[in-house]
Amino acid sequence: MRRKWRVVVCLTVIFILFVSYKILEPDIKGGTNHAELEYREVPVAREDNSRVNANEDHEGHQNVDDIVKELQEKYWINFNYPLKESPWQVAEKMVNLREVHPEQAPEIGSILRAMATRKIVSADTGYKGTQLKLSLILDGGQVVAFKPRWYRRDEIFTETPYSGADRHNGEIAAFHLNRIMDFRRTPLAVGRKINLKTEIIPNGSEQLLKTFFVNGSNTCFYGKCYYCKGEETGVCAEGDILEGTVILWLPKALPLKTYRHPWARTYITGKLAQWEKDPNYCTAVQVSHIYSEGPRLLDLIDTAIFDFLIGNADRHRYETLGNQMESVFLMLDNGKSFGNPFLDEISILAPLYQCCMVRYETYRRLLLLQNGVLSRVLRKVLKQDPLAPILAENHYAALDRRLGIMLEKIQTCMDKLPQNRALVKETVKS
């Protein structure tokens, strides 16, 4: 009997040593390195990977209400923050290859105020694109885009997940959501009401003024864009006052490089893109050095997470700041967002569930914002915009619901991949 117990004990010890070695094997062997980033496995929030519910300490440390208060204070906008130089100079200095603005940037408030109030000195048709917009120059020489209001806040689009014209309020909500998600890859955006008669017409280009017309007592224009075909495609002010969103132009010193999105839709009824037919499509994407090295693929997956939250299924191309491998994947043109709060378009998440990986920092952020934290923080921040309310109430519920869906998708990947390879932690090398 004693001999049997000794055998059992020895086998148990051997088994424990073997399992411990397998767990530590990546660290023992030194991991996998790339030229710019080191990717290695990381622990998850809890040993059992369980979700945190609102009745217990959030992430095992703080109460949900405390986290909401802390984040609301962090992302609250101070429109009167004192600046020592032009707001346009401050904004330009914020931008680098990896972010549009830093995490701690109280100056954003003063920049947004300038965007919403500075005198318009020049107006022209929008630069390229399929959607109607204006290109404005504000006092001090700053170029901004102006996207006009087309719809009520509670308008719902049910045809396709990319139906309708751009929602100007979606650009505002997307900018602040991007801050709260700690991505910081969306240009500054703020609401503004413009008097077409006194602010645009006296300063408009000949090309723009040719598209102006009157509909009843309302001043209208149709501008120049792919879908701008004449008066039937124009937008009208209420009288002379047109509501819209002002979006800050990025610095010319950092030119944009455009790429086709590998998960782009065909936009042809009945014709599927390759990624919609091949569940292993991510493997084909990773053949390209653009996505096999550096942060680009993880940036793309971050963007899929962001787009799923806002319901944006229209990301057919993307831009980076320059063409370096570490150049950040910018989250521009978010107007096709917040169209249907009752539809969760899962296909937007294809990069996440086909590649089955996500940044560890992004996953931790999602955990932090669950249980209603996200909607409560965003609702408070958006109340500050000059055009508030920015979103219909149903969209806040949709944000929290979609966040939960994403956590379930990530959990599925974590369950089927060994040693939590679904979570990627990156360390920038010096």
How many residues in the chain? 430
Q: Which residues are catalytic?
A: 314
pLDDT at 426: 80
pTM above 0.75?
Answer: yes
Could you report the per-residue pLDDT of 282-294, keeping only the tens digit for each? 999 999 999 998 8
Per-residue confidence band for 225, with pLDDT thresholds at 50, 70 and 90: very high
**Residue 372 CA: distances (Å) to CA of 179, 346, 385, 401:** 17, 20, 21, 9
Average pLDDT over residues 217-239: 96
Could you report the per-residue pLDDT of 81-139, keeping only the tens digit for each? 999 999 999 999 999 999 999 998 999 999 999 999 999 999 999 867 889 999 999 99
- Residues flagged as binding site for ATP: 131, 147, 247-250, 319, 333
- For residue 420, pLDDT over 90 is answered with no
Q: What's the CA gap between 303 and 264, in Å, rounded? A: 13
List, as one string, the DSSP characters of 309-330: HHT-----EEEEESSSTT--EE
- For residue 44, pLDDT over 80 is answered with no
pLDDT at 35: 31
Torsion of the alpha carbons at 8, 11, 16 and 17, rounded to the nearest 10 = 150
Average pLDDT over residues 8-20: 44
Average pLDDT over residues 294-309: 97
pLDDT at 19: 34
- Residues flagged as binding site for Mn(2+): 166, 333
Q: Can you give the residue ranges of every domain in the chain?
A: 64-72+253-428, 86-248
